[in-house]
Structure 1
Amino acid sequence: MALPHVAAFTDTYLPTVNGVTYTVETWRDRWQARGGRMDVVYPKSDHEPGAGEYPVRSLPFPFYEGFRLGMPQIPNPVKDADLVHAHTPFSLGMAGQRLARKLEVPLVASYHTPSGEYAEYVAFNGTVESVVQAGAESYERWFLDRAAVVVAPSERTADHIRETVGTDTRLEVISNGVDTDFFRPVDTAAFRERHDLPDGPLVGYTGRHGYEKCLEDILDACEGLDVTVVFGGDGPAREDLEAVAAARDLDVRFLGFLDRAELPELYAALDVFAFPSPVETQGLVALEANCCGTPVAGVDAGALSDTVHEGETGYSYPEGDLEEFRRAIERVLDEQETLSERCLARRDSVSVEHAVGRLQAVYADVLDAPRQ
């Protein structure tokens, strides 16, 4: 049976590297490898579009550096789609919703990030931030109520959608999945030499440097430990993070954006992946680190409560408790070899192949369901 033609709409895509862009790109590639067609509609950027990628006119987003706002346009090549998958509730998500309604085909909506978490980027005081956050949740509910199914990357995120957003739309939990062919243990000698990293223990993080991710907590927790702290990636909080690091008695290295080919080397080089972000909907980078044999010291909040398996893939700590964060890092360092073996034993269960298989089943189900 032929796979459906899927039109995927996203407000963030290459060259930006984050969990959403990685998921959209990887699902698209694996869907096509199965013989299906999944086109991607995204804001025009420096990314040179390949087959099945359709940029639309975009403008810089004034509140968040590097993010572009796509105009809600529908490129002609996707106007015969069998199903629309929106990876955003905003501009291009609205275009996807409009296309699904016009074609009378199912709309599937992925919930990647709680919109209210970004209220601080557009609000100038706490009162305005609270109003923006409440408005964002109402808008999310309105958007998700119009989907045939909502895809959540973790059980904890599904709980948030039910309890906070409050949509009655059917929910399916599908992990974003990890490309386990790519994210695997690799030799790290060349990476360490290239980035002038010392031979001692490395505690690090890679991903977007957003204020909501509480990355300064890593510096607080590592103060007094005999480790080098490594940050990969970039974002609006980086400059402030560098200023704080400069004032600490710590060896801290900021590597900036890394080429994707270097990510397995970074993960494998780390002894501990430190993850203090309480706002994750899955925490994909933690799973990538695990697949490279690196355990996690992560906050017991958001989706990380499900992602970090205590004593198996790392250790967790209560949100805001820096002493316990330090203790979690120390425990991972002490048990690094055993935890690493346990991380590698779980690789198949978090693979992207498993995720796309689940996605295929959900698509088939909503396409077979009576249209409303």
Structure 2
Amino acid sequence: MTRVAAFTDTYHPTVNGVTYTIEAWRDHWNDHHGQMDVVYPGTDEYTPRAREHPVRSLPFPFYDGVRVGAPRVPKTVPRADVVHAHTAFGLGLAARRYADKHDLPLVASYHTPTAEYAEYISSHDSVLSSLSRASETYEHWYYDHVDLVLTPSEPTKRHLLDDLDVSTPVHVVSNGIDTDRFQPADADTFRDRFDLDGTLVGYTGRHGYEKRLQDIIDATDSMDDVTVVFGGDGPARDDLEARARRADVDVRFLGFLDRDDLPAFYTALDVFAFPSPVETQGLVALEANACGTPVAGVDAGALADTIDDGETGYHYEPGDVDAFQTAIERTLDDRDRLAQNCLDRRDQVSIEHAVTELHRHYDAVT
């Protein structure tokens, strides 16, 4: 039985891919492999469950929904065999201190290239450049002083090795998705509930400026019988709604959807549209695929690998809105074949497969 202490700055009540990855890994690990405890930024809005250990936290002033935890280790955390940091900041420092104090191996996951989010702090080019350099310098230091780094995709691995010049061994472990949850669901009921009909092109997730969600509206502008559906919320939503009012396409904003509604949302879509060039894996694309929905997405970042061009969807070149429209149209035309390919690959993207890989890497450092 391997005992793991996981530290993260992105956990409840934040709703994003990293949160669900850690939850799913923890639950599957505790059911099948050993014991995993999670240390996270506490909040009055969430009551911790068993093996969850909150620390004092404050809202991150530049990024709505994210909290910064005090870099400390709660006394309730039991002795572990391996420490897993899901952040280099805040609680990542606590993970490092805990590992050093008990002479334990430290594994670190690289979920997010923090330099990509500098624009939330300042829009000035000189400040952005300085923040990006400082962030990358810090990330190099942190990830160069752990025992193993895990990334969710090959492009993210290459970023660590080539751009950050990290010398620590780096291995790819897909985040994985819960294929028991994400499978084809009742699309008709979902469409009726939200009064949706016709061809649906959609996206769900955080509405961040770096994700270029406005490109979905621009690419579908004037397409016949298409409704664009956005699930989720975020800082870019007001601007997206303003852009939608000016466009010649029906755009619906559903807001945050309950996790249990997501399989039906994905199944109801004809195409999942994903223009974000900054993904480290693009978990929502895999969730859509597991529900039988192909993806039209940018050929950049992790989506260059997550989308198998011509098999589970189609790519387009970054920034080319006309090419994005073509990718959406090709995906619609070829939907039946692409959808079957997506369903045939469900086992390859499962949590079970991901945690088996995780176990192998833990064994290698303990």
TM-score (norm 2): 0.98
- Taking the TM superposition and a 5 Å limit, the aligned residue runs for 1:1-372 are 2=1, 4-45=2-43, 46-198=45-197, 200-226=198-224, 227-367=226-366
1:290 and 1:313 in contact (8 A); partners too: yes
Structure 1 residues 190-235: Cα deviation after superposition (integer angstroms, max 9, x where no partner):
211222212x010000011110000000000000112100001111
1:5 and 1:315 mapped to 2: Cα distance? 41
Considering only aligned residues, what root-mean-square deviation do their CA atoms show, in Å? 0.9
Q: Secondary structure at the match of 1:39?
A: strand
What 5-or-longer segments of structure 2 have no aligned partner? Answer: none
Q: Deviations over 1:262-318 (max 9, x none)?
A: 000000000000000000000111011000000000000000000111111000000
State the alpha-carbon separation in 2 of the partners of residues 175 and 124 from structure 1. 33
Name the SS for the 2:9 alignment partner.
coil
Counterpart residue type for residue 344 of structure 2: A
What is the Cα deviation at residue 15 of structure 1?
2.3
Tell me which amino acid in the other structure corresponds to 2:46.
H
Cα shift readout 1:50-102 (whole Å, capped 9, x = no counterpart): 00011111111111111111111101122511111000111011111110011
Contact map agreement 1:79 1:99 (CA 8 A) in 2: no
**Counterpart AA for 1:212:** E
Name the amino acid aligned to 2:272: F
The superposition leaves residues 140-194 of structure 1 with CA deviations (integer Å, 9 ceiling, x where unpaired) of 0101011100001011110111111111000110000011111001111221122
Read off the aligned partner of 1:40 and give its amino acid letter. Answer: V
- 1:7 partner SS: strand
Alpha-carbon offset, residue 35 of structure 1: 4.2
Distance 1:235 1:150 in 2: 29
What SS does the aligned partner of 1:77 have?
coil
Percent identity between the two aligned chains: 61
Deviations 1:25-56 (A, max 9, x none): 00000000114111111111212110001111
* Moved segments of 4+, more than 6 Å: none
Q: Which range is displaced more, 69-78 or 205-214?
A: 69-78
Give the gaps of 5 or more residues in structure 1: 368-372
Give 1:151's aligned amino acid.
Answer: L
Matched residue, 1:370: none
Q: Distance in 2 between matches of 1:319 and 1:76?
A: 47
Cα distance between partner residues in 2 of 1:51 and 1:9: 15
Give the 3-state SS of the residue equivalent to 1:78 in structure 2.
coil
d(CA) in 2 for partners of 1:77 and 1:263? Answer: 34
TM-score normalised by structure 1 residue count? 0.96
CA distance in 1, matches of 2:359, 2:176: 14
Separation in 2, partners of 1:347, 1:48: 33
3-state secondary structure, aligned to 1:76: coil
